[in-house]
Amino acid sequence: MVDKYSVFSVLREALRGHTGWRPAWRDASPVGAYDVIIVGGGGHGLATAYYLAKNHQRMRIAVVEKGWLGNGSIGRNTTIIRSNYLLPGNAPFYEFSMKLWEGLEQDINYNAMVSQRGVLNIIHSDAQRDAYARRGNSMRLHGIDAELLDLAALRAKVPYLDYENARFPIQGALLQRRGGTVRHDAVAWGYARAADRLGVDIIQNCEVTGIKTENGKAIGVETTRGYIPGKKIGLACAGNSSRVAAMAGISLPIESHALQAFVSESIKPLIDNVITFGAGHFYISQSDKGGLVFGGDIDGYNSYASRGNLPTIEDVCEGGMALMPMLGRARLVRHWGGIMDMTMDGSPIIDKSPVENLYLNAGWCYGGFKATPASGWCFAHLIARDEPHEVATAYRLDRFAKGYVIDEKGVGASPNLH
């Protein structure tokens, strides 16, 4: 059992020269059979394990992770959270996630640096103003905060954008004040520690290589650390969902794609919101260390290589320069890529799989970080009770066959365009 973190523990350790801190979670090995095995120790897998242990009946739970905890997209994303969705299947789910973020740090006793600094979507044309007004109205109908800022209000808030740009004129913005950023890897560590405190075994360096079935039911997983029997198995292998589902003979409406992220050298505080460019794909915020954290489009073709190519870097930087030319003065110090499940409609899947006792959490595209708490909560609900949580009923696997796709962007079955 790990100590509770508090002001007193920080003071105590300050006086003891920080000699008393203990590892935040046990480095567990597989032991015997489990009631639930979660495959994938990213944000969603760890959150699922935590909410399973916290919200449901007593169970033996394991999370098996092929690498180290947090090696995947949970530790690679640009940390933006928001619930500014338009469609009915999405809005209640992402708002539920936002509410969980708001209470997360107290709940898991971990500082995840949840910062509701506001997300500004910049508007560049009349049509875009109409679209954002509609989105804002739809959000408000769902009880989500949204404000449409006119040019004067936006200028007062962020004076440093290129308001003279003739090609991409700025008209205003849609603002969600409750949106913002969260320290991404702290989310993985915080959930891991909280799950561990409730008895969950977190087993790292343990790659699932096969899913064992008997009479059409999943009964355990083959791993690089041996066979692990489990009554229920939940897949949360963002980026690799197709590969792992294929082990059980399941084909998914998913392509794996690379998304890159970029960080500049540290500068003095400049950007105190998240800002997105509406005439291209570019988003930016500033970390507490001072680095400008930004990104844009996915590379656009299937990839399992956790790195991207130069044309996308150029495209992202062009978007940034069109919005705030001063960016050109900052040096880019780091960039990296992560692999994501891109679905055919741009929305995720939280559902039972065609194989009994095998559950699926997949298809988070490039927006799954903000979903982490709700995804874990709803996936735990599904696994424990065998029925979907009320805010996740639209995320069915059979929606593609039945024509109930949730296509926020309206681009059809082209994963690289969502």
Partner 1 sequence: MRIVCPHCGERGLQEFLYHGDATVTRPRDGGAEPTPEWTDYVYLRDNPNGAHRELWYHNAGCHAWLVVTRNLRTHEITAVETAHDVALGRLS
Ligand X SMILES: Cc1cc2nc3c(=O)[nH]c(=O)nc-3n(C[C@H](O)[C@H](O)[C@H](O)COP(=O)(O)OP(=O)(O)OC[C@H]3O[C@@H](n4cnc5c(N)ncnc54)[C@H](O)[C@@H]3O)c2cc1C
Q: Which residues sit at the interface with ligand X, rule CB under 6 A?
A: 39-45, 64-67, 71-74, 76-80, 207-208, 236-240, 244, 259-261, 295, 338, 340, 364, 366-370
Interface characters, 306-345, with partner 1 (x: CB under 8 A): ---x-x--------------------------------x-
Task: Decide if residue 414 touches partner 1 (CB under 8 A).
Answer: yes
Residue type at 333 in one-letter notation: V
Residue 261 binding partner per list ligand X, partner 1, none, with a CB distance cut-off of 5 to 8 Å that depends on partner kind: ligand X
In the region spanning residues 371 to 400, those forming contacts with partner 1, defined by CB under 8 A, are: 400
d(CA 22, CA 336): 31
Residue 51 is inside which H or E element, if any?
helix 43-55
Q: Which 3 state secondary structure label does DSSP give 355?
A: coil
Sheet holding 332-343, edge to edge: 147-150, 172-176, 119-123, 274-277, 282-286, 291-302, 254-266, 332-343
d(CA 320, CA 20): 45
Binding span for partner 1 by CB under 8 A among 49-57, 209-217, 266-274, 297-305: 297-305
Task: Decide if residue 363 touches partner 1 (CB under 8 A).
Answer: no
d(CA 294, CA 244): 30
Q: Specify whether the backbone of 357 is left (phi greater than 0), alpha (psi in -120 to 50) or beta.
A: left
Task: Decide if residue 255 touches partner 1 (CB under 8 A).
Answer: yes
C-alpha 292, offset from chain centre: 19
Q: What is the DSSP string of 275-295?
A: EEETTTTEEEEE-TTSEEEEE
Residue 305 binding partner per list ligand X, partner 1, none, with a CB distance cut-off of 5 to 8 Å that depends on partner kind: partner 1
Residue 401 binding partner per list partner 1, ligand X, none, with a CB distance cut-off of 5 to 8 Å that depends on partner kind: partner 1
In the region spanning residues 114 to 143, those forming contacts with partner 1, defined by CB under 8 A, are: none
Please identify which residue in 300, 317, 332, 384 interacts with partner 1, judged by CB under 8 A: 300
Nearer to ligand X, 129 or 139 (CB): 139
Pairing mode of beta strands 358-362, 208-214: unpaired
Task: Decide if residue 242 touches partner 1 (CB under 8 A).
Answer: yes
How many residues comprise the chain? 418
d(CA 49, CA 193): 11
The token duo for 237 is 């292998």
Nearer to partner 1, 187 or 362 (CB): 362
Contact predicate 400/344, CB 8 Å? yes
Shortest spacing between CB 245 and partner 1, in angstroms: 10
Q: Judging by beta carbons within 10 Å of its beta carbon (0-12, 13-18, 19+), is residue 93 exposed, middle or buried? A: buried
Task: Decide if residue 163 touches partner 1 (CB under 8 A).
Answer: no
Binding span for partner 1 by CB under 8 A among 53-61, 119-127, 246-254, 321-329: 246-254
Cα torsion 124, 128, 130, 133 to 10°: value is: -80
Residue 203 binding partner per list ligand X, partner 1, none, with a CB distance cut-off of 5 to 8 Å that depends on partner kind: none
Nearer to partner 1, 250 or 292 (CB): 250
Shortest spacing between CB 146 and ligand X, in angstroms: 18
Task: Decide if residue 160 touches partner 1 (CB under 8 A).
Answer: no
Nearer to partner 1, 138 or 306 (CB): 306
Which residues contact partner 1 (rule: CB under 8 A)?
240, 242-243, 246, 251-256, 300-305, 309, 311, 344, 400-401, 403, 413-416
